[in-house]
Structure 1
């Protein structure tokens, strides 16, 4: 317990590196998993930029959180060709559509805009935004020369829905190859709820960080998990445990420390909750509102991530 007490105190010690991770860019502020949203999040300042990747029918890596085209984050505008039998595309599996079809969607306006969706109330729309490829994102980050920002690439995979999920090793290989092609393997983490991907990433890119994502609803994905989830994640190949915030308590933190894993908690959008997570000793907080966490970091005297210099003039 002594190591846990020490870790817990770090959340209030000035100069200790505790990280802010922008969730899907910054979903509460700008359209998620988009080039405009990722750009603005880097310019705001985060230690890590998290986004989701799925595989299309023509084996292209695109940014999207869902394995089917979401009616919340995507809107049909036109078919890619006249009389396309797949149109409309909203609601169709990502892996049944080609990149050209997905690129016709507008992913810059969150729908529907009503009080039941808190993000629709705070997110600035960017109409006529298109679904980007992983390669486009990596090119953008390289143009920004954003070496201070680590990329957190979540591979979307659901072993209970194999009809929507690519072969995990092939999927991991494609992502690792793209990261390597852009020179980003050394400053990236690979994330997944599907720990098969974590294991493949450990084989293919052993020097790259690997985050085992966990939540109460998907613990049943892992056979023989037992009572020590952090140890199981370590054995699966993880270097970091990334649990839903409702799972984080002193017991989990103690187990993670014993397993040699740090903890990055998601998704924390309230500064009071963020303070409690810091006091427990988490190494990172994943948030839809990096601006709020920056305020908390400043209050705590923690190291703030430097904003990345904008590529365009900024009006004052």
Structure 2
């Protein structure tokens, strides 16, 4: 069985998350799968963002989208209350505040004047690279406890599936979500596309099951892989998962990754794919092939 390296939000530990330059550099570094987060704007555009509100850590206001815009400044506003034009004014290339308490402040390279991309732009980028060997993992940000901030999960899933299909990526993509209503919708709309049921301790109550029932519930929801927070992965959990592959997140130390590999996980989701590539080399595991750069590289 191939054990995979999944770049989390691109490679959040190295470059700004969910951005075109960050994703492109992750492709060039080499991962089996490129993970990103998607939400829906006020004008129904699929945009890359991890948060349901504009984050003051990953985003900074630059200017209003038009003179006198009463919604400006946009930081702190709900993503689904802002249009793509408004969201595109944000600089998402510098992590703020840059201080030692932020675990990524010392390792993430700033890329100022970077804009929030759409899912379509990312798919175009991956297509331009010819990165057919890299699976695209699209996490749909949906929270059943905050319906005012989220679109209808079936409608949201349909929009994502349509965009993936438009770019010919349904056969080499995966739909991910903590909201398993998305997983169920994806199973119906795109049965040939992989589906990752995400789980963490804080959201277990969403699914009405605990402990031994989790893998079975994920299967019943339509998942093809179960993806728990790495602290949940134990020998007992792996035994319960049985033939359902397990992809653990977010694993940033080679030591913990090695423990998980020994337990038999199928994938490691990481902010630092460079560290995992070193571990893969040490273990003699097949490495993902770096994608050839689109631009000339100075030597």
> What TM-score does the superposition give when structure 1 sets the normalisation length?
0.94
Residue 76 (1) aligns with residue 72 (2): no
Residue 247 (1) aligns with residue 235 (2): no
| Alignment correspondent of 1:269 | 252
Q: Encode CA deviations 1:263-291: one digit per residue, 9 max, x unaligned.
A: 00000000000000000000000000000
Residue 315 (1) aligns with residue 298 (2): yes
Tell me which stretches of 4 or more aligned residues in structure 1 moved more than 2 Å: 223-227
Q: 1:122 aligns with which of 91, 100, 107?
A: 107
Q: 1:56 aligns with which of 32, 35, 41?
A: 41
Structure 1 gap segments, 5+ residues each = 1-15
| Alignment correspondent of 1:103 | 88
Residue 293 (1) aligns with residue 276 (2): yes
SS of the residue 1:176 aligns to? helix
Query: Cα distance, 1:225 vs. partner?
Result: 4.9
| Alignment correspondent of 1:228 | 213
SS of the residue 1:118 aligns to? coil
Change (3 A) 1:23 1:186: same
Residue 306 (1) aligns with residue 292 (2): no
Q: Encode CA deviations 1:115-154: one digit per residue, 9 max, x unaligned.
A: 0001111000100000000000000000000001000000
> What TM-score does the superposition give when structure 2 sets the normalisation length?
0.99
Equivalent residues in 2 for 1:1-316 (5 A)? Answer: 16-225=1-210, 227-257=212-242, 260-316=243-299
Partners of 2:273 and 2:137 lie apart in 1 by 15
Q: Is the 8 A contact 1:225 1:232 kept in 2?
A: no
Partners of 1:315 and 1:45 lie apart in 2 by 19
Query: Cα distance, 1:226 vs. partner?
Result: 6.3
Pairwise CA RMSD = 0.8
Which of structures 1 and 2 has the larger relative contact order (alpha carbons within 8 angstroms, sep 6+)? 1
Equivalent pairs, count: 299
Structure 2 gap segments, 5+ residues each = none
Partners of 2:209 and 2:254 lie apart in 1 by 36
Q: Encode CA deviations 1:57-113: one digit per residue, 9 max, x unaligned.
A: 000000000000000000000000111000000000000000000000000000000
Q: Encode CA deviations 1:28-55: one digit per residue, 9 max, x unaligned.
A: 0000000000000000000000000000
